[in-house]
Structure 1
Amino acid sequence: MRILLLSAYDAESHIYWRKGLIEHLPEYEWTVLSLPGRYFSWRMRGNSLSWAFAERELLEQQYDLVIATSMTDLSALRGFIPNLGQIPTLVYFHENQFAYPSSGKEFKSVEPCILNLYTALAGDYCLFNSEYNRRTLLEGASALLGKMPDHVPAGITDRIASRSAVVPVPLKDDSYLPSKPESNRVHLVWNHRWEFDKNPQLLLDAIRLLLKKTDRFTLHVVGQQFRKVPPQFTELSELLDQYPGCKGEWGYMASRQAYQALLQKADIVLSTADHDYQGIAVLEGAAAGAFPVVPDRLAYQELFPVECRYTESDQANEMAEKLGQLIEKKLDNGFELPSVDVSQLSWTVLADKYREVIEAIMKRGAP
């Protein structure tokens, strides 16, 4: 069976998912089209144009199924390439634009949200990586449709809801590693994109408060960086430099082997995110034995027990308090920090679920 996989904004998390999909479902014949994860606004609106007139021969071949990410302008692409409209299509939502936080600097437009809505409706079935992702799209679409002045068709969000399910992005097989913590210090890892939606200000504020309690920790701040780096990272680096031993790995780690070794050493993996639909970075830390300390919001409410989460009311102070208590428990009381079982997110568990969905859609049925 031949599957056409379309990744219209091929960011790191999308690459992570599509490579895993192809590796763990080798019984299908895969054809992949992807576009680089940059120039977001142009890519979102232009991907159908780019593909329809540069890849027409490939798109007009015969396939048994199309799998498209939610960034794909699927309704326009099916209009440009009519035969695609005759092929069963699955849409995978890594995120949705309805719940994406605003930086206050972007041009305000409903275009990204409308594209998500049209793509969800153009597909035969939709998968979401978390219930939070699914719920916020349905709520956001309902609110947007409520603003239309007239001629609003009934049952749009019900249609999407009835043809959708949650199947997370599985963790790589090599994510599951034995924990190897050190005994004399507590290692904290913050391992996210260095962008505003990961809330670096909260990280800075919490570490500043934590340093008033203890300096018996090493903070590693690693992750993908872009041309414009939020100034909080410079402030945090300079702050940690004042405390010997508190600053660990800093910046992007090109070697996955080195990155995994760091996660094995970590006692705690942190998130301060305002935007995470699944949180692969924290999940990989948990898979290597680190204890997650995450906000009580987003998909984290589905993934981690309440003892891992800090509340919304006074985030920096509560995060610092939680970290201080964990450091004290380990170093003063010999308490082994607990791990959280994330084995249910492995490819071993989830590969058959993907097969089940794919087979059902290829037969023009719903799973």
Structure 2
Amino acid sequence: MKALLLSAYAAASHRFWADGLEQAFPEIDWQRLELPPRHFQWRVRGNPLMWRLANHAVLEQSFDLVVATSMVDLATLVGLCPSLAQARKVVYFHENQFAFPRSSRQVLRPEPMMVNLYAALAADVVVFNSAYNRDSLVAGARDFLSRMPDRLPLEPWLSRLAAHAHVLPVPLPDQAVRPAGRGRRIVWNHRWEYDKNPEAFFAALERLVAEGIDFEVAVMGQQFRDRPAVFDTARAWLGERIVCWGEQPAADYAAMLDAADIVVSTTDHEFQGLAIMEAVNRGCLPLVPDRLCFPDYYPDACRYPGDVESLVARLRGWLTDPASRPPLPDARQWQWPAWRSAYGEVLGLRPRPDTA
């Protein structure tokens, strides 16, 4: 099978997924085109033109399979490159633009939402990384499209999309799962941006400091030029409690997760949460808000109602009484061996003889 893998905004989690696909299915002859994760509006709207002009020879080849992220304007690309029309077309939604929170400086732009919808319409198979991602797209699209000046019969299509779409998370590599840590080291390993709600995380730590509760903290994750000011102020008052600060090389990042005990999320935006899953795989007990994608993946004992007060209460209990901590979720359920067969089905592969 010859396959074209398209990623229009190749952020870290998207590259992680694409690398995993190629490694999990070496029997497929992969050709990969991707665009750097910057200039979002240009990427999401201009990717067919960029690829058509820069990669014309590749797109004119004959492919059995096209796998694209939801930021790829697949409908336009197939129109510009009709040779792709005969391939099996799979669109993978890492996220959807209908449920993406906007900062106070952002305005609603319909173009990225329409690209999501056109990609889904052009696909033979639509895949989401969580039920929350699927459901929030359908609900958001229903509200968005109700504003159109013509009352189109969209509800049957949205209902079919919800019923027939697949839910397959981005899998983790096949590796040994570390046992749970029982110490007092807390890790934050998310993007340093407003939608991850770092203010709530540091507000909870400030309460723990005021109560005299002993802990250490490792604050990692991808950084950008424009980052929330709370990181700089928190670094000053956390002082010697900090064991790691800032983005880390891969080996150092993994070692820090191995040495940590609790991983926390306070996010307002998450469709799967690979950073939390990676930390759980390395022995960190997750503490995540009871919203977004997290009920899809974590038991009640690892979720808090979502407010700072509840987060402080749960951390206080876990730090002062380690025996009260719940069991570590089994990360093997998120690794490639658990999902290869389901991915093979959506890609149109026949089962291998050893899995038939």
Q: TM-score, normalised by structure 2?
A: 0.94
**SS at 2:66 equivalent:** strand
**Aligned pair partner of 2:312 in 320, 329, 339:** 320
**Matches of 2:245 and 2:205 in 1, distance apart?**
15
**Matches of 1:262 and 1:168 in 2, distance apart?**
24
Cα drift, residue 340 of structure 1: 1.2
Q: Which amino acid aligns with 2:106?
A: E
Aligned to 1:364: none
**Matches of 1:8 and 1:337 in 2, distance apart?**
40
Aligned to 2:186: 188
Matched, 1:251 2:240: no
Structure 2: any 5+ residue segments left out of the alignment? 351-356
**Matches of 2:159 and 2:327 in 1, distance apart?**
41
8 Å Cα contact 2:96/2:116 also seen in 1 = yes
Matched, 1:281 2:279: no
Cα drift, residue 208 of structure 1: 1.1
Structure 1: any 5+ residue segments left out of the alignment? 362-367
Cα drift, residue 107 of structure 1: 3.0
**Matches of 1:257 and 1:336 in 2, distance apart?**
28
Q: Which amino acid aligns with 1:342?
A: A
**Aligned pair partner of 2:334 in 333, 340, 345:** 345
**Matches of 1:91 and 1:353 in 2, distance apart?**
15
**Matches of 1:353 and 1:290 in 2, distance apart?**
27
**Matches of 1:336 and 1:96 in 2, distance apart?**
34
8 Å Cα contact 1:121/1:160 also seen in 2 = no
Cα drift, residue 59 of structure 1: 0.4
State the identity as a percent. 42
What CA deviation, in whole Å up to 9, does each residue of 1:118-161 have, x standing for no partner? 11111111000000001001111111111112141342312422
8 Å Cα contact 2:180/2:284 also seen in 1 = no
Cα drift, residue 99 of structure 1: 0.4
**SS at 1:6 equivalent:** strand
**Matches of 2:196 and 2:325 in 1, distance apart?**
28
8 Å Cα contact 2:74/2:122 also seen in 1 = yes
8 Å Cα contact 1:271/1:295 also seen in 2 = yes
Aligned to 1:306: 300
**Aligned pair partner of 1:214 in 182, 193, 212:** 212
**Matches of 2:325 and 2:287 in 1, distance apart?**
15
Q: 1:84 to 1:58 in 2, by over 3 A?
A: same
1:1-367 correspondence runs (5 A): 1-154=1-154, 155-174=156-175, 176-179=176-179, 181=181, 185-241=183-239, 244=240, 246-254=241-249, 256-312=250-306, 315-330=307-322, 338-359=327-348
What CA deviation, in whole Å up to 9, does each residue of 1:40-64 have, x standing for no partner? 1111101111001111110010110
**SS at 2:9 equivalent:** strand
RMSD: 1.6
Q: Which amino acid aligns with 2:312?
A: A
Aligned to 2:354: none
8 Å Cα contact 2:317/2:324 also seen in 1 = no
**Matches of 1:248 and 1:26 in 2, distance apart?**
40
Q: Which amino acid aligns with 2:80?
A: F
**SS at 1:173 equivalent:** coil
Aligned residues: 349
**Matches of 1:117 and 1:180 in 2, distance apart?**
41
8 Å Cα contact 2:48/2:76 also seen in 1 = yes
8 Å Cα contact 2:177/2:331 also seen in 1 = no
Q: Which amino acid aligns with 1:44?
A: V
Q: Which amino acid aligns with 2:337?
A: T
**Matches of 1:95 and 1:340 in 2, distance apart?**
24
